[in-house]
Amino acid sequence: MKNNDCELSRRQFIKNVSKWCTKTLGVLFFPYLLTLRTGFTRAGQEKVFEPSYLKLLTSSELKTRSEALWEIMVSCELCPRKCGVNRLKGKRGFCQAPGATLVVSAFHPHFGEERPLVGYGGSGTIFFTHCNLRCVFCQNWEISHLGRGTKTTIEELALMMLALQEVGCHNINIVTPTHYSPHLVKALEIAAKKGLRLPIVYNTSGWERIEILKLLDGIVDIYLPDFKYWEGEKAAKYSSGAWNYPDITKRAILEMHRQVGVAKPESDGILRRGLIIRHLVMPNNVSGSERIMEWIAQNLPKNTYVNIMAQYTPLYKAFDYPEISRRITKEEYERVVEKAKKLGLTNLDIQGFRWFLGSIEKVPQASVRLRQIGPYS
Ligand code: SF4
């Protein structure tokens, strides 16, 4: 009996141990299997993401691209102004960037960008100073026109990117990057080697040369261009003579779409790749909004992400131009949204009503009094 008892308990023991092992292994491995299946890590529920630039880093192509961009500054043609100044010798072109010196205004998580860029951790925004377009109504005129910021080395820019990743941002959102694109790519190379894994958002006026965009192919994961004007005449009037803005921007947006495709947020709601077009509706149809919606519907997929922005505010020198010296009305905004919907655009970012004035009949075409007493008159 004793032997039998002993046999039984040994069998029981083995059974218990095997049960325990099955349970424990299950607990340990189930989340791992889930990770393989869904792409989420166990630790932070963050989607496993590999930005495009990692491939270029491995093949040393990132270095080649940054050097090619840097070399363009010898006779600067980084943007459609094609000033031809030698920025490496400290010369300034139209954008007023101080030669090859990078000046950064600010960097911080931004919670006011498009929702799929902001997520829960914010968009890691870095504001570059100066601008090649220099619009008369610029809301960031102290940064873009006056160049208020701090001289920043490439290494410091890389550290900014890493710091934004560290605090939980979902992307590195470079505002007005065009004239500092060589600096961006050089810094990215350093940051990627140190562990940067966030997608780069190229937050631009849309007025980009195709040749430069091709050098950014495989580096930028999210393009965020404006499409500001339908008519070259308006672009020239409000954006420092940039009469070719509409044609160049159309070509640039098509190239951006070719590179990154339609913006589709992932299962966690965060966007990691794709094109978002921003269009700012301006008073008195100055921006030609309905024509722009038509062009998008005819030339890009119907599910292209289009942010129809309502927040136009007359700032800086806008009061020198009566037709743009007020906010837009509810009717003006709704007309554009209705047009976009009629055209079959399905991925519209539409804003609420907090920005709007009343009926269009009640809106003065220009605020002469403000022009006389305003801070910029
Ligand atoms: S980036 Fe500046 S210097 Fe270079 S072409 Fe454009 S405006 Fe001129």
pLDDT in tens, 4-26: 455 556 666 566 655 655 454 44
What is the tally of structural domains in the chain?
Answer: 2
Domain limits for position 118: 47-373
Q: Kindly state whether residues 136 and 29 are assigned to the same domain.
A: no
Same domain, 64 and 23: no
Q: How far are the Cα atoms of 205, 238, 302, 336, 343 from residue 293, in angstroms, in the given order?
A: 17, 21, 11, 8, 8
Atom of ligand 1 nearest to the CA of 178: 1
Hey, which of 69, 70, 79 would you mutate to test ligand 1's pocket, going by the most ligand atoms within 8 Å of its Cβ? 79
Domain co-membership, 22 together with 112 = no
85 touches ligand 1 (CB under 6 Å) = yes
- Cβ of residue 79 lying under 6 Å from some atom of ligand 1: yes
> What pLDDT does residue 48 have?
76
∠ CA(170), CA(278), CA(314), 5° rounding?
A: 115
CB of 76 closer than 6 angstroms to any ligand 1 atom: yes
Tokens linked to 376:
């910029």
pTM of the model: 0.85
Q: Which ligand 1 atom is at minimum distance from the Cα of 73?
A: 4
Confidence of residue 246 (pLDDT cuts 50, 70, 90): very high
122 and 25 fall within a common domain: no
Residue of 72, 82, 239 with the most ligand 1 atoms within 8 Å of its CB, for mutation: 82
Indicate if 195 and 233 belong to the same structural domain. Answer: yes
Examine the domain organization and report whether 235 and 272 are in the same domain: yes
Same domain (yes/no): 292, 367: yes
CATH label of the domain that carries residue 166: 3.20.20.70
Residue nearest to atom 6 of ligand 1 (CA): 79
Residues 300 and 197 in one domain: yes
Q: 134 CB less than 6 Å from ligand 1?
A: no
With beta carbons less than 8 A apart as the criterion, state whether 160 and 107 touch: yes
Sorting pLDDT into bands at 50, 70 and 90, what band is 259?
Answer: very high
Quick: pLDDT tens for 30-86. Answer: 344 333 333 334 344 455 789 999 999 999 999 999 999 999 999 999 999 999 999
67 and 3 housed in the same domain: no
| Domain identity same for 153 and 90 | yes
The best mutation among 70, 132, 245 to test binding of ligand 1, ranked by most ligand atoms within 8 Å of the C-beta, falls on 132
Same domain, 114 and 13: no
More reliable by pLDDT, 134 or 357: 134
**Proportion of the chain above pLDDT 90, given as a percent:** 80
Let me know whether 74 and 122 are in one domain.
Answer: yes
Q: Please tell me the predicted confidence (pLDDT) of residue 40.
A: 36
